[in-house]
Amino acid sequence: MENFKPIAQQDIEVVVTMMEEFYGIDNYPINIEKSKNLLKEFILNDMLGSGWLILHEGQTVGYVILTFVFSFEYGGRIVILDELYIRKNERGLGLGSKTLDFIHAQAKLLGIKIIYLEIEDHNEAARQLYLSKNYTLHHRGSMKLVVK
């Protein structure tokens, strides 16, 4: 049975281990201690967002994190689906679809107007999953500035 449990401080080690697996897919760097500290800060401050462990048959198999943003354009609070990770051996069981249904319901409860996300160009499976749940490709390009 699938289930979702809010990420708590006692879950930091397992979540950061999964973050390391997730980031490793695309060879993104990760600082383990910094990630632990950031996750602790995130858990302690409700204003930053919400995160859940993804459970399958009583085992933690992934996690999902929504981060909050306030948008005048969209009339209030929106979220970035910042991270959604399911361990390799549990993919293909419908957990991604169930997780998206869960966060959609959570977004409604939280009064969220929009859910934004980014996907890697090569991740066609993720793209198809999001499209199947009525996510649409955004007409705007993403840009970033690393503040130093």
**What CATH number is attached to the domain comprising 108?**
3.40.630.30
Q: What is the span of the domain harbouring residue 123? A: 2-132
Instruction: Name the domain count of the chain.
Output: 1
User: What would the pLDDT profile of 3-18 be if each residue is shown by its tens digit?
Assistant: 999 999 999 999 999 9
Would you say residue 123 lies in a domain?
yes
- Looking at the domain assignment, is residue 140 inside a domain? no
Neighbours of 27 (CB within 10 A): 6
Cα 4 from Cα 11, distance rounded (Å)? 13
pLDDT tens digit string along 82-91? Answer: 999 999 999 9
C-alpha span between 70 and 123 (Å, rounded):
28
d(CA 27, CA 21): 10
- pTM of the predicted structure, to 2 decimals: 0.93
